[in-house]
A and B are shown apart, each in its own frame.
Chain A
Amino acid sequence: LDEDALLPAPQNISILSTNMKHFLTWSPVIVQEETVRYSVEFQGEYEREYANESWIPTSECSLITGTVCNITEDISATVAYNLRVRADVGARRSEWGTLKGVFNRITTSLTPPLMKVIADGYHLLVELEDMGPAFQLRILYWKKGQERKVQQKVVKEVRSVVHLDTMEAGADHCVTAQTYVDAINRSSSFSQTQCVRAQGDKSM
């Protein structure tokens, strides 16, 4: 069994979390001419406080060969999680390498939504990126020059082209949007403002 202890635990374990997609990464354990496999486990606050600090195997990363694990499905509550990963080569197994500190999805980085503003006749529309069920989109729109009369629309299910409003003939209208995740009660910054012009000329 001593030989097992020689297999080093994975190092440089870290989390990459953007827009509520969470990934655990680590440095590869190098063993000449051998395929090293990795397994990841997680432990929520509930497990620490109520279930004898038990660990739970992740849904996607048991004996994988890569050094990235998608833990999005496992991090499904807004509490602090511990994460750990170990290496296996044949019958040899390393100790667990544990993420320094805890991970709470409330720290995910939120990017502004990709959007394309469209003028279709007198109609102001926006084409939005579907970022998944956790996201709502808060859209602000106004007539150029009337920045104090901003209107808002919250979109819960992203469809391809969302109708915002009708526009005055020949007038410019501007739009910006941010994402909002109610599970963590946080929003992204606003996207770059985009302006379009309604058909017709202003005298109409």
Chain B
Amino acid sequence: SGELYCSLLNPRHVRFESINMKNVLHWSAPEGTGNGVLYKVKYSVYGVGKWIRKPECRNINRTWCDLSSETSDYEEQYYASVKAFLNGMVSDWVETTRFNPLTDTKIEPPMLSISSTERSITIILTAPEKWKRSPEEESISLLQVYPGLHYNVSVLNKKTKKRWFFSISNHTLVVPWLEPGTAYCVSAQIRVTTPLLDSGFSKEHCIATLKDK
């Protein structure tokens, strides 16, 4: 029988992109459509009966929707779905795969704070925080979410071009007995063994030991 309405091609690549548990739904516009396409979004908690509409992502023309608030309980798993509209034409609902915030998030590298003396450098590492709704909300470090978290630290002597690696669980590393007046570049990575997650290495922070008095 004829279609009662024209159907629009579906949105594509509907997926969660998550960094430090900031969970944002992304998708691509239906093939061949330019501007003017509008979308609406719904999500559901896996194992719970109903889909829930996201009002802030109703009739939007952008191709992302921040669902961090709705998916902040990382002991649950989630689905999200997108539908497209254009000139009275409607697409199907297109769903993500099942999203597990605990295992499917990307962890950013740690923040580094470095200081030096004549013969040592001190590196203080800070793990990123879990996404939070507002600055006032209590911060949760990813260290609390992933108890097995530890750091790999790389220290490069710019003069000798030798690179050393340290693996530490606490957040401070002091490297003593260095050469005065020498530049060292430091970079660090976060490692979690189960689930297996690791951040990339951070940008290099360089510092020089003070010159011999």
Contact = CB atoms under 8 A, between A and B. Distances in A.
Q: Tell which of B162, B163, B165, B166 has the most Cβ of chain A within 10 Å.
A: B165
16 contacts: A120-B164, A121-B177, A121-B178, A122-B176, A122-B177, A156-B167, A156-B193, A157-B152, A157-B191, A159-B154, A159-B167, A160-B163, A161-B163, A161-B165, A162-B167, A163-B155
B179 interface: yes
Q: How large is the interface on A (under 10, 10 to 19, 20 to 34, 35 or more residues)?
A: 10 to 19
A134 B5 CA distance: 57
A157 B167 contact: yes
Nearest to A159: B165
A138 interface: no
B160 interface: yes
Interface string B159-177: 0101111110000000111
B48 to A, nearest CB: 32
Interface string A147-164: 000000001110111110
Interface in B190-211: 191, 193
B164 A123 contact: yes
Contacts, number: 38
A120 B159 CA distance: 13
Interface in B82-113: none
B160 A123 contact: no
A125 interface: yes
Contacts of B154: 159
Contacts of B160: 120
A18 interface: no
Contacts of A120: 160, 162, 164
A91 to B, nearest CB: 43
Contacts of A125: 164
A109 interface: no
A59 interface: no
Interface of B: 152, 154-155, 160, 162-167, 175-179, 191, 193
Q: Is the interface of B mostly helix, strand, loop or mixed?
A: strand
A159 B177 contact: no
A136 to B, nearest CB: 11
B165 A166 contact: no
A155 B163 contact: no
Contacts of A163: 155, 164-166, 175
Contacts of A162: 164-167
Given A120-B164, A123-B177, 13 more contacts: A122-B176, A123-B164, A156-B167, A157-B152, A157-B167, A157-B191, A159-B167, A162-B164, A162-B165, A162-B166, A163-B164, A163-B165, A163-B175
Given A156-B193, A157-B191, A121 B179 contact: yes
Contacts of A155: 167
Nearest to B154: A159
Nearest to A153: B167
Interface in A160-189: 160-163, 166
Which 5 pairs from chain A and chain B are nearest by CB? A159-B165, A122-B177, A163-B164, A166-B177, A163-B166
Contacts of A157: 152, 167, 191
Contacts of A121: 177-179
Nearest to B193: A156
